[in-house]
Amino acid sequence: MHKKYFIGTSILIAVFVVIFDQVTKYIIATTMKIGDSFEVIPHFLNITSHRNNGAAWGILSGKMTFFFIITIIISIALVYFFIKDAQYNLFMQVAISLLFAGALGNFIDRILTGEVVDFIDTNIFGYDFPIFNIADSSLTIGVILIIIALLKDTSNKKEKEVK
C-alpha cells in the first residue's frame, strides 16, 4: 500500500526552506546597508540589499494588516488542500510545502520588522527583474509545480476518458 501523506518529507522541505530563507536574510540585513550591491555573475546576478513593505514588485506597499490576514487564510487553505487533495501525491505535497514555506518566510519578516528583506537581483536577457529572496523563489517554484501537477492530472483524466 502506498503512503497517503509524506508528512516527514513535507515538514523537512518547509523547515529547510524557512531556515535557509531566514539565515540568508539575516546575513544580508546585518552585513549590508540598504542599496549596497555586489556582482556575483557579471551582467546576470547581483546581491543587492533591498527592503519591501509590499508584495511582489512592491504592490500594496504598507498594507501589513492585509498581508497578515491573507497569509493566515492562504496557510489554512494550503493545509486544507494538502489534507484533502494531495493524498498519495508526493509531487503535489512538495509543491504545497514550498508554497507554505515561502509564505511563512516572508510572514516572519513582516511580523518581526514590518518589511521583507530582498537581495537576489537578476538581469535576465536584458530585463532587470525585481529583487527577490529565497521565500519568493520557493513560492514561485511551488506555483510552477502545482501547475505542472494539475496539467498532468488533467491529461491523465482525459486519457482515462478516451479508454
Q: Which of 21, 109, 121, 136 is catalytic?
A: 136
DSSP string of 66-122? HHHHHHHHHHHHHHHHHHHH-TT-HHHHHHHHHHHHHHHHHHHHHHHHSSEEEEEEE
Contact predicate 14/101, CB 8 Å: yes
Q: Which of 21, 109, 118, 121 is catalytic?
A: 118
Contact predicate 128/74, CB 8 Å: no
Coil, helix or strand at residue 47: strand
Cα 132 from Cα 123, distance rounded (Å): 12
Q: Which amino acid is at 131?
A: I
Q: Would residue 109 show up in a list of annotated catalytic residues for this protein?
A: no
Contact predicate 39/46, CB 8 Å: yes
Q: Would residue 136 show up in a list of annotated catalytic residues for this protein?
A: yes
Give me the active site residues, please: 118, 136
